[in-house]
């Protein structure tokens, strides 16, 4: 009976791939030593103009998003490539947050590593021209965050991510985020933290970047 149950459970296994976004990058996050991936590192290094193992420092993240974006994309792609060849079937579910969406699309077979890298480079060049920052706010529900934003009059600051009921991320110009941060603490926030990225991602401020990225997206081989 137990053996039959295990076989039935195995047949019901759902293979899920989940990739994070740009904020996870750190110094020396790569390279990955696998034969399936090693042949791509020279191209990646040329795109970064610095070795991949050292490119994702905090300073470079803040100052050079057009170069730092390919690093987490490639590093999180590498384990998938080392375990599954391009002929392997796609996962049952592939999910990604922000930049991780490109890894999810690759895992699902939408495009290969080279085409994904080209898209990420184009995305990074487009978004690098949009000034702004992101601020994580922990300990306040959405309605209190909105009330605090309305009270200090910062319409340029938008709620970009709803991570949990009491963990939200704000996007906006640096000067406005600087005004918002102490207001969040006065409203009762337990913690606020600037994300290690240089741009107001997941907000309407990125609309111009979307227009600049459109030609690359439309010409991609998907």
The C-alpha atoms of residue 209 and residue 53 are separated, in whole angstroms, by 28
Output the CA–CA distances (angstroms, integers) from residue 199 to 23, 97, 209, in the order listed. 11, 16, 11
The C-alpha atoms of residue 169 and residue 98 are separated, in whole angstroms, by 13
Three-state secondary structure call for residue 145: helix
Cα three-residue angle 159-160-165, rounded to 5 degrees: 70
Active site residue ranges: 98, 202
> Nearest 5°: phi and psi at 150?
-65, -35
The residue to which tokens 């319409």 are assigned: 155
The C-alpha atoms of residue 124 and residue 122 are separated, in whole angstroms, by 5
């Amino acid at each position: 009976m137990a053996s039959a149950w295990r076989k039935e459970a195995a047949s019901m296994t759902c293979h899920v791939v989940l990739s994070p976004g740009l904020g996870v990058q750190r110094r020396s996050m790569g390279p990955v030593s696998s034969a399936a991936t090693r042949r791509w590192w020279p191209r990646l290094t040329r795109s970064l103009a610095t070795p991949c193992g050292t490119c994702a420092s905090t300073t470079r993240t803040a100052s050079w998003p057009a170069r730092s974006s390919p690093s987490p994309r490639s590093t999180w792609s590498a384990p998938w490539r080392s375990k599954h060849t391009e002929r392997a079937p796609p996962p049952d579910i592939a999910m990604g947050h922000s930049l991780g969406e490109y890894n999810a699309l690759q895992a699902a077979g939408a495009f290969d590593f080279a085409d994904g890298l080209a898209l990420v480079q184009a995305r990074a060049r487009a978004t690098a021209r949009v000034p702004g920052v992101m601020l994580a706010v922990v300990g306040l529900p959405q309605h209190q965050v909105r009330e605090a934003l309305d009270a200090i009059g910062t319409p340029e600051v938008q709620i970009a991510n709803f991570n949990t009921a009491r963990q939200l991320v704000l996007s906006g110009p640096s000067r406005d985020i600087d005004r918002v941060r102490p207001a969040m603490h006065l409203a009762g926030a337990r913690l606020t933290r600037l994300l290690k990225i240089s741009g107001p991602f997941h907000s309407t401020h990125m609309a111009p970047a979307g227009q600049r990225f459109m030609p690359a997206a439309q010409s991609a081989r998907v």
